[in-house]
């Protein structure tokens, strides 16, 4: 997404600068003649390109399309932030107290219930994400067939990672079964875990990114960046705790042997 957005935004800005400062042409030549004075653009010209300024320019242009106070956008932000917070808090509470397992009569049924709640929350998040995109302007530099097909490709790749992760882990493995004491016998190393860590999270991020690009939506791109950030925080928060659960399992097995 970064290269697509960066090139598109730069070319659009360059085109606007050239419209305001057309270069002279000479008779008998089809192409433009170089001018001794370069037309200004958002990044200071290719000869003086500063990538930090370019990134700032892109972000400024992106935010120019987005109304941060628009209700659908606010709802999408809240849904994106809330979902991982909810499942991590509930799962850790269950691991500490086992109250969900006691309330539902078994750890497996409790895990299925939490998994169902997470699925419903993710449907709500996707709905809020889509409504936020539809309520705000499209970006002209993304609204073309080539970029549209890039978005479709990202949707496909993300879907493959999400579905294959679910098939490799199963329902309880996907929806925090280890917090309920439902542990795998060994670490899953088959595809997609053989090519990517946390493929469920990154596949989901790719789906949101593809969905935003298909809609030529700067709002969707901004929300996708938030999705990726929240998932990175969740990974930092979850992985050490999950590793500790399996270390405890290994220690208990060693003592029994």
pLDDT tens for 39-53 read 444 444 444 545 455
Are 5 and 218 in contact by the 8 Å Cβ rule? The answer is no
93-138 confidence digits (pLDDT tens): 999 999 999 999 999 999 999 999 999 999 999 999 999 999 999 9
Q: Is the pLDDT of residue 37 over 50?
A: no
Residue with tokens 């596949």: 203
Q: Quote helix, strand, coil % in the chain, to nearest 5.
A: 75, 0, 25
Are 218 and 62 in contact by the 8 Å Cβ rule? The answer is yes
Residue 170 marked ligand-binding: no
Residue 2 marked ligand-binding: no
- The mean of the pLDDT values for the chain is 81
Residue with tokens 């409790």: 110
Q: Is the pLDDT of residue 149 over 50?
A: yes
Classify residue 73: in a domain, yes or no: yes
**What is the pLDDT at residue 106?**
96
Residue 28 marked ligand-binding: no
Residue 158 marked ligand-binding: yes
177-225 confidence digits (pLDDT tens): 999 999 888 788 899 999 999 999 999 999 999 999 999 999 999 999 9
Classify residue 5: in a domain, yes or no: no
**What is the pLDDT at residue 1?**
45
pTM here is 0.75
Structural domain total, the chain = 1
Residue 157 marked ligand-binding: yes
Are 224 and 72 in contact by the 8 Å Cβ rule? The answer is no
Q: Is the pLDDT of residue 4 over 50?
A: no
Question: Predicted confidence band at 3 (pLDDT cuts at 50, 70, 90)?
Answer: very low
Query: How far is C-alpha 2 from the chain's CA centre?
Result: 12
Q: Which domain holds residue 110?
A: 69-135+149-169
Classify residue 51: in a domain, yes or no: no
Classify residue 231: in a domain, yes or no: no
How far are the Cα atoms of 16, 83, 111, 151 from residue 90, in angstroms, in the given order?
52, 11, 11, 34
Classify residue 99: in a domain, yes or no: yes
Classify residue 156: in a domain, yes or no: yes
Helices 218-256, 71-97: crossing angle, 10 deg rounding: 0
Cis peptide before 192 (omega within 30 of 0): yes
Are 256 and 249 in contact by the 8 Å Cβ rule? The answer is no
Classify residue 11: in a domain, yes or no: no
Classify residue 218: in a domain, yes or no: no
User: What are the tokens at 121?
Assistant: 């929350």
Ramachandran assignment for 176, one of left (phi > 0), alpha (psi -120 to 50 degrees), beta (any other): left
């Amino acid at each position: 997404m970064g290269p697509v957005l960066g090139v598109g935004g730069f070319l659009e800005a360059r085109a606007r600068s050239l419209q305001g400062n057309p270069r002279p042409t000479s008779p008998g030549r089809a192409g433009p003649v170089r001018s001794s004075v370069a037309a200004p653009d958002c990044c200071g010209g290719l000869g003086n390109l500063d990538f930090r300024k370019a990134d700032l320019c892109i972000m400024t242009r992106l935010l120019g399309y987005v109304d941060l106070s628009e209700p659908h956008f606010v709802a999408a932000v809240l849904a994106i932030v809330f979902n991982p917070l909810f499942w991590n808090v509930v799962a850790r509470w269950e691991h500490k107290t086992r109250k969900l397992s006691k309330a539902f009569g078994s750890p497996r049924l409790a895990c299925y219930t939490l998994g169902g709640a997470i699925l419903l929350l993710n449907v709500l998040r996707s709905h809020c994400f889509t409504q936020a995109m539809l309520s705000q302007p499209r970006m002209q530099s993304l609204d073309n067939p080539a970029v549209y097909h890039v978005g479709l490709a990202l949707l496909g790749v993300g879907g493959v990672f999400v579905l294959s992760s679910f098939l490799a882990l199963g329902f309880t493995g996907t929806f925090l079964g280890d917090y309920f004491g439902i542990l795998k016998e060994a670490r899953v190393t088959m595809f997609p875990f053989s090519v990517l860590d946390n493929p469920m999270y990154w596949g989901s991020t790719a789906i949101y990114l593809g969905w935003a690009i298909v809609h030529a939506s700067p709002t969707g791109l901004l929300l996708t960046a938030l999705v990726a950030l929240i998932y990175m925080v969740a990974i930092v928060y979850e992985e050490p705790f999950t590793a500790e659960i399996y270390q405890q399992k290994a220690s208990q097995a060693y003592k029994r042997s």
